[in-house]
Amino acid sequence: MSDLQAALVFLPLVGSFLAHAPVLRFDLVPFLKGPVDGGASFGGRRVFGDNKTWRGLLAMSLGVLAATLLLSLWPWYWRKLPPEIRSAGPLVFGTLLGIGAVLAELPGSFLKRRLGIAPGAQRPTIAGRLISVWDQGDFVLGGWLALIPVWTMTWRQAAASFAIVSAVHLAISGVGYALGIRKTVL
């Protein structure tokens, strides 16, 4: 399997953005708007911050699942996936990928809160920019780990997928910024 084919495993992640954007834009399901950390602090700083909400986790993971189910109906896409993923089926694949993607967001938020970086902000330093780049592709690490029960990708495939997913995420973030959905591009 080529590196590009391995990156196709992460195509359903687009569903997380497509599902989350209208939830944010139109303030949908406000009763789930509470922060995942419940306002708790660690070392005098918030654990994850106000931007990591239950509705975000739910919308994003369900968006990945919905995209996976839809993409599985497209033979060109489904046949390009590893046989182990096809054998697991779209429901298992989409659920694992969705859970992995949303959980992968949390360590980065935790780290940024420890460093005093506000949600949606960036430090104008090399370290700050590296954290922002990591933030664009953290879905890959989460998805990679979550998919281990059905398929294990190589380090090379993971690195290529990270680069591709980061570039796509950056482009989507730019569109979100242009539409007024996001406050920053990174």
Work out the number of other CB atoms within 10 angstroms of the CB of residue 143.
26
d(CA 177, CA 186): 9
- In the chain, where the domains are located: 3-178
* Site of tokens 């680069």: 163
* Residue 115, pLDDT score: 85
What is the spatial distance between Cα 5 and Cα 84, in angstroms, rounded to a whole number?
14
Question: Residue 150 has what pLDDT?
Answer: 97
Element (DSSP H or E) covering residue 42: strand 41-42
CA 73 to chain centre: 22
Produce one character per residue of 33-58: b if its CB has 16 or more CB atoms within 10 Å, e if not. Answer: eebbbeeeeeeeebbbbeebbebbbb
Give the pLDDT of the chain (186 residues) as one tens digit per residue: 788 888 999 999 999 989 998 999 999 999 999 999 999 999 999 999 999 999 999 999 999 999 999 999 999 999 999 999 999 999 999 999 999 999 999 998 998 888 888 877 778 788 777 887 787 788 899 999 999 999 999 999 999 999 988 888 788 778 877 888 777 666
User: What is the predicted pLDDT for the residue at 186?
Assistant: 64
Residue 29's SS3 state is coil
Q: What is the pLDDT of residue 185?
A: 67
82 contacts 148 by C-beta, under 8 angstroms: no
What the block records as the tokens of 152 is 């294990």
Written as six digits, the tokens of 179 are 């539409």
